[in-house]
């Protein structure tokens, strides 16, 4: 498996990280180094082995599906880079 510049560009976009065009070749190379290391996993016989879903054999706790907190708009907005009139403000999303 080898990652080309086009794939690197696509991954950066999927991750929502702006990568300038001139950085893409180096990024593709770094991906290839890391993936080359990961490829060792192909040597392992995993036939019949389930993917791990929980590292400790515990049943997740359940609770009643009810509201347990809320009414803290001010606290939630406190750290926002741009909060106006009780909302998070972002650039225009819909034309």
Partner 1 sequence: MTELNKLTIAAARDALKAGDVTSVELTRACLTEIDAADALGAFVHKTPDLALEQAAAADTRIKAGDAPDMCGIPLGIKDLFCTKGVNSQAASAILNGFRPEYESTVSQNLLDAGAVMLGKLNMDEFAMGSSNETSVYGNAVNPWKVDGRNLTPGGSSGGSASAVAADLCLAATGTDTGGSIRQPAAFTGITGIKPTYGRCSRWGIVAFASSLDQAGPMTKDVRDAAIMLEAMCGHDPKDSTSADLPVPNFEAMLTGDIKGKVIGIPREYRMDGMPAEIEKLWSDGSAMLKDAGAEIRDISLPHTKYALPAYYVIAPAEASSNLARYDGVKYGHRAKLAAGDGINDMYEKTRAEGFGDEVQRRVMVGTYVLSAGFYDAYYNRARRVRNLIKRDFETVFAEGVDAILTPATPSAAFGLGEMADADPVKMYLNDVFTVTVNLAGLPGISVPAGLDAQGLPLGLQLIGRPWEEGDLLNFAQVLEDRAGFVAKPAKWW
Q: Which residues bind partner 1 (CB under 8 A)?
A: 3, 7, 11-19, 27, 30-31, 33-35, 37-44, 46, 49-56, 58, 60-61, 63, 72, 75-76, 78-82, 88, 90-93
Q: What minimum distance in Å lies between the beta carbon of 25 and partner 1?
A: 14
Q: What minimum distance in Å lies between the beta carbon of 81 and partner 1?
A: 4
The closest alpha carbon to 2, from 28, 23, 41, belongs to 28
The most distant pair of C-alpha atoms in the chain lies apart, rounded to whole Å, by 58
């Amino acid at each position: 498996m080898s990652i080309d510049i086009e794939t690197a560009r696509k991954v950066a976009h999927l991750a929502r990280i702006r990568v300038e065009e001139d950085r893409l070749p180096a990024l593709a190379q770094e991906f290839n180094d890391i993936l080359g290391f990961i490829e060792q996993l192909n040597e392992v016989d995993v036939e019949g082995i389930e993917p791990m879903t929980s590292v400790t054999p515990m049943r997740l706790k359940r609770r009643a599906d009810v509201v347990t907190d809320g009414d803290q708009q001010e606290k939630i907005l406190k750290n926002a880079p741009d909060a106006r009139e009780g909302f998070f403000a972002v650039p225009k999303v819909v034309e």
